Amino acid sequence: MDLRQRYTEAINNEGIGCELDTWFLESMYSYPITEGLEMLSQVLVVIDELPTEDGFIQEIAGVVNSTLPIFFVVDYIKQTGDTPLLISIRDIDCDTYLDFILKKQSINYYLNL
């Protein structure tokens, strides 16, 4: 019986890497290719700045500015000494995105540190 690959690694421009869970990759397929890649690239830019919480799934929200803005949230795990793992990505509404901004859990917040 063949086993399915559980995750894939991604590396951004600065050489900072993360693992992409199969669920995350499957979620990305629901978006047009340019928007999906933009979401991934936004997360990769801030992955090193995201807080470390051992044993807990965390969330980070972002927005892709296209014809109609796409607000999204990424579930991830970032533990001490481990490579960050992106678990899933999903749409959220504008109000939920604003809540993430207030909680300082947006990609934009980490870009401006």
- Return the CATH number at 56: 3.30.2310
What would the two tokens of residue 66 be?
């296209």
pLDDT digits (tens, 9 = 90+) for 14-23: 454 789 999 9
Query: C-alpha angle 72/66/85, rounded to 5°?
Result: 30
Do residues 48 and 16 lie in contact, with contact meaning Cβ atoms separated by under 8 Å?
yes
Rounded Cα distance between 73 and 92, Å, is 7
Residue 1 maps to a domain: no
Taking only the tens place, the pLDDT of each residue in 26-81 is 999 999 999 999 999 999 999 999 999 998 999 999 999 988 999 999 999 999 98
Residue 28 domain boundaries: 7-111
2 located within any domain: no
Cα gap 7→28, rounded to integer Å: 14
Total of domains in the chain: 1
Q: Specify the length of the chain in residues.
A: 113
